[in-house]
Structure 1
Amino acid sequence: MRIEIAPGVRLFVDVEGPAFVPDGTGLREKPTLLLLHGGPGFDHSSFKPLFSRLADVAQVVYYDHRGHGRSDPRPSEEWTLDTFADDVVRLCSALGIERPVVLGHSFGGFVAQRYLARHPAHPAAVVLSSTSPHLGLARKLAVFERLGGAAAREAAERFWTQPGAGTWAEYERVCLPLYNTRPAADPQTSKRIRFRPEILFAWAGGEQRSMNLLPGLAGVQCPVLVLVLVLVLAGDQDPVCPLEDAQDIAAALPLRWSRFACVEGAGHGTWRDRPDEVLARLRAFIGDGV
């Protein structure tokens, strides 16, 4: 379904599981897990079907960012972190969701970091998964070279410095297979994505080059933060959002309310390589964070 979150702006939304479940003589409300997908330019489909396994502990809400996937196309001037972050609040308002558990993966983690800085009172808890606070190109290139040699380093450098269709084709062929340590459980997953490359190229050549989310995280010091737990979830074999980036994020957050989890042997999107371990961590965190 498409939900209007602002005049003329509709996001694609899919909901799995009820918010209220029978519990004795009454109904018990489950937390809402709001999933922010990676990219930019991709869609929510990479969360499916694995995150269905969390529907017993949370109502799971998937959506496509503004202009992405099955959401309505939007002009490029709206493809900004501030807009995407504020859309989280707009969507929750439209759906009547209060105090969500927000999980941002990769680019969705960029959005979640900006959302946390701009709206610290809004979430019950936040998961920052396989994400970075900045471009950090030198770190990326070093890990790509370690995992795939000089060819991977060169392909990554060409794409991130000159994003476009030509450099993306080489990056997709050489670098994307290095994102994870295991083959995809479902090889059809990537074919289900509705990819809008123009958003990726505009972002990689624009806001991402100067992005620095650490000051916003460090400034989240208001008292309401005592209600917000933040889990930073990273794989030690992630080339595009290296482990050191996650460590920077964790260090920038107020120590008392942050949690850091490094999943050994996992790459980008830790649940792709260690699904049982990561879902167990998320299940426990959802219980702690609400």
Structure 2
Amino acid sequence: MLRERVVPGEPEIFVAWQAGTTDRTLLVIHGGPDWDHSYLRDPLERLDCRLLMPDLRGCGRSGRVPGEEYHPDGVVRDLLRVLDAFGVERADVLGHSYGGMVAQRFAISHPSRVRSLIVSGSSVLPLPPDAFAGWVERDEVLARQEDPWQREDLSLEACVRAEALAAAPANVHRAAAMPGYLRRLGEIRFGAEWVRQLQTGTLVSPRFPDAAQRIAELGIPVLLLHGRQDMTFPVGLVEPTLELIPRARAVVLEEAGHMVHVDEPDGYLEAVREFLAG
């Protein structure tokens, strides 16, 4: 059962957490970024380790900051405060989607605090312009996707929610997983603080251009956990990443899309468990 705690500071950071029965701590960084951690709870809450699942600044139940402070370095500082508040010296770090890039930034910036890194539904390498060239199914799915940002009757927060719902067919591959995913989306506390910075053109990417080289130099274990049907971060970037990071390994789940943990929760959980046990 996940418990809840607010880490004080500027801003306050809301954390869902469980004590676990092992000496390992998994810090989980959600994507969006204007989502919250809740869409990642299942299946990760079934792990035996200590689990820390914060809402990023400006997201969910965490505090808001001035516009210019929506920056990945601010997020990294918040994550350090979370580890300190829970007395964690070194953590295994999992990041999904946008959170996967934040996780890499955290590991590179503070290597002494990171035991291992899981990049889930994300990428270490930047996306080339032709990353999805020739994928007809993806083109058809995206062509049917409604664009809520063209509507003048919706608030920014409502647009973020509507976009998440519209993108569901692109993010979830298995039809059987879709009803549960839509229920999951209904429970997320969507915000719009980060997209406001995106609209002003001041949003900074969390990705370091030389991330692969710098992660390789850390010498930590790395897991690339990916869905074969991911329409956001192409699976084709997995193999080139493995060539650049000697201690990296990959698990590609064949029937999973971008929400790899939703499409194949059992395979996802097994991959995480095996990696943390290594």
User: TM-score band, normalised by the shorter chain?
Assistant: 0.7 to 0.9
**Contact 1:214–1:252 (8 Å) recurs in 2:** no
Which residue number corresponds to residue 15 of structure 1? 17
Deviations 1:224-248 (A, max 9, x none): x34x211011111111112134445
For 2:206 and 2:17, locate their aligned partners in 1 and report how far apart those are by CA, in whole Å: 31
5 Å-filtered alignment, 1:64-79, equals 64-79=55-70
Distance 1:172 1:81, change over 3 A: same
Determine which of 237, 244, 251 is the counterpart of 2:236.
244
Asked if 1:59 corresponds to 2:50, the answer is yes
Q: Which amino acid aligns with 2:172?
A: N
Q: Match of 2:89?
A: 98
Distance 2:143 2:244 in 1: 28
Q: 1:246/1:157 Cα in 2 relative to 1: closer, same or farther (>3 Å)?
A: farther
| Aligned equivalent of 2:186 | 191
Using the TM superposition, name which of 104-113 and 268-277 deviates more: 268-277
TM-score w.r.t. structure 1 length? Answer: 0.78
What is the CA deviation profile of residues 130-158 of structure 1, one whole-angstrom value per residue up to 9, with x for unaligned ones? 01346637356648753351x72596999
- The aligned runs of 1:161-240 (5 Å cut-off) are 171-172=163-164, 174-182=166-174, 183-184=177-178, 186=180, 187-203=182-198, 206=201, 212-220=207-215, 222=217, 225-226=218-219, 228-240=220-232
Report the equivalent of 2:249. Answer: 259
Q: 1: CA distance between counterparts of 2:92 and 2:77? A: 16
CA contact (8 A) 1:34 1:62 kept: yes
* Partner SS for 2:81: helix
What is the alpha-carbon distance in structure 2 between the residues aligned to residue 268 and residue 169 of structure 1?
A: 17
Task: Give the aligned residue type for 1:283.
Answer: R
Secondary structure of 2:27's counterpart equals: strand
Deviations 1:103-154 (A, max 9, x none): 00011101001112212222111100001346637356648753351x7259
Checking the alignment, whether the CA contact within 8 Å between 1:235 and 1:268 is kept in structure 2 is yes
> 1:119 is matched by which residue type in structure 2?
H
Report the equivalent of 1:24: none
Map of 1:123 onto structure 2: 114
Q: Is the 2:194–2:203 contact (alpha carbons within 8 Å) kept by the matching residues of 1?
A: no
Distance 1:235 1:156, change over 3 A: farther
Percent identity over the alignment is 28
Match of 1:276 in 2: 266
2:263 is aligned with 1:285: no
Contact 2:27 2:53 in 1 (8 A): yes
CA contact (8 A) 1:236 1:265 kept: yes
Deviation (angstroms), 1:100? 0.7
1:34 is the counterpart of 2:27: yes
Note if contact 1:139-1:242 (Cα within 8 Å) is conserved in structure 2: no
Whole-angstrom distance in 1 between the partners of 2:224 and 2:200: 26
- Contact 2:16 / 2:52 at 8 angstroms: preserved in 1? yes
Is residue 2:9 matched to residue 1:2? no
| TM superposition shift of 1:17 | 3.1
CA gap of 1:145–1:218, structure 2 versus 1, over 3 A, is same
Distance 1:198 1:41 in 2: 7
The question of whether the paired residues in 2 share the 8 Å contact of 1:135 and 1:211 is answered with no
Between the aligned partners of 2:224 and 2:198, the Cα distance in structure 1 is 23
Quote the Cα distance in structure 2 between the aligned partners of 1:211 and 1:279: 26
1:50 corresponds to 2:43: yes
- Determine the structure 2 residue equivalent to 1:85: 76
Q: How many Å separate the matches in 2 of 1:142 and 1:9?
A: 42
Counterparts of 2:67 and 2:183, CA distance in 1: 29
Paired with 2:231 and 2:146, the residues of 1 have a C-alpha distance of: 10
Mean Cα displacement is larger for which, 95-104 or 81-90?
81-90
Task: Give the letter aligned to residue 184 of structure 1.
Answer: M
Deviation of 1:59 after TM superposition, in Å, equals 1.0
Matched with 1:26 is: none
TM-score, with length taken from structure 2: 0.82
Structure 1 unaligned spans of 5+: 22-28
